[in-house]
Structure 1
Amino acid sequence: MRLRSLATAAAVIALAAPLTSCGFDYATERTYTPAGGANNREGVVDVLSAVVVSGAEGSGTFVASLSNNDGAEEQSLTGISGGEGATIEAAEFEGVTVPAAGLVNLAEPPADIVLTGDFTAGDFVPLSFDFGNGERISLNVPVVADDFGYWEGMDAS
C-alpha cells in the first residue's frame, strides 16, 4: 500500500510540471518587438523603434515610426520635449501628420527633428510626445551613434 502511494505521488509530481504551463496568456500571443529602439503602444499613435541618432555630444536627430491606429482620422505629432528631470529641447519642427490607419517613418524622408541637451551615445533620454488629439506619452529613448547604420548620406546633428 505504501509503495502504491509513493508511486502515485511521484506520478502526480511528474505530471504537475507540464500541466502548469497550460492556461491563458501564452508567451507566443504577447506582443514582442525585438529592436534597438524603444516602443510605446499606449495611445492612438504607436511610437515604434524610437532612437536619437547622435553625431556629437549634446545633439541628435529623433527617428521613429509612427503608426496611427485610428482608421477614421489622421493624427499629428505636434511636439517633443524632455521628460521629467531631463534637460532636452527639440528645435521647432513642422508637425508630422500620420494618415488614418497609416504609418510614417521619420527617417524616410528625414523629418529633421533635432534634439539638444545633456546626452551622448549610449544614454537613454526620457522624452514626452504631444499629439494633436491631446494625448501625451512618455518614453525612455536610446541615444545611438550616427555610425550605427540608421541612414546613409544624412548628416545627423
Structure 2
Amino acid sequence: MNKLIAIMNRVLSLFCISLSSILVACVIWQVFSRYVLNSPSTSTDEIARFLFIWVGLMGAAYTLGQKRHLAIDLLAMKLENQPGKQAALKLIINLISAVFTTVIMVYGGGALMLKTLATGQISPALGIEMGIIYAAIPLSGCFMSIYLLKDLLDNLTDISSSGTSTL
C-alpha cells in the first residue's frame, strides 16, 4: 500500500505542477492578448477555467494525502492526553470522509460525468466534451478514497496498539 501511495504522491504532484504551469501561461497570454493586442483569446479563457477545476480537485486529493488540508482540530486538541480516544476520533473522521468521497465524488461525480458524456454536451469555445472536464470529480474522489483507506488502516492499527477505542 505504501508503494502505491508513493506513486500516487509523485504522479499527483507532477500533474498539479504541470497543470498549474499551463494555467499560468494561459492567464498570462489572456491578459497580454486582451490588453496589448486588443484581441482577447476566447480559447485560453476556457482552457484556464477548465484547468482551474482540474488543479483544484487534484490538488485537494494530493493535499488530503499529505495531511495538509484545512482542518478544525479543536476536539482533537481536547483529546491530546487521551491517545485511545484521539485515535478513535481520527477513525470516525476518516470514515465520514471516506463515505463522502465514495458516495458524492466517485458515485455522484461519475454519474454526472457519464450523463454529460451521454448527452454530448460540449464546451462553446474549444468543443471539448464536458464529461471529460467533469471526470476530475470522480478521479479526485478515487485518489482521496485510496488515501483515506490507507489512513483508516493506519487508524485501526493505532487503536489496536493503544488498547482502547472508546470515546
TM-score exceeds 0.5: no
TM-score range, shorter chain: under 0.3
Q: Max radius of gyration: which structure?
A: 1
Taking structure 1 as the reference length, the TM-score comes to 0.23
**Larger fraction in helix:** 2
Taking structure 2 as the reference length, the TM-score comes to 0.23
**Larger fraction in strand:** 1
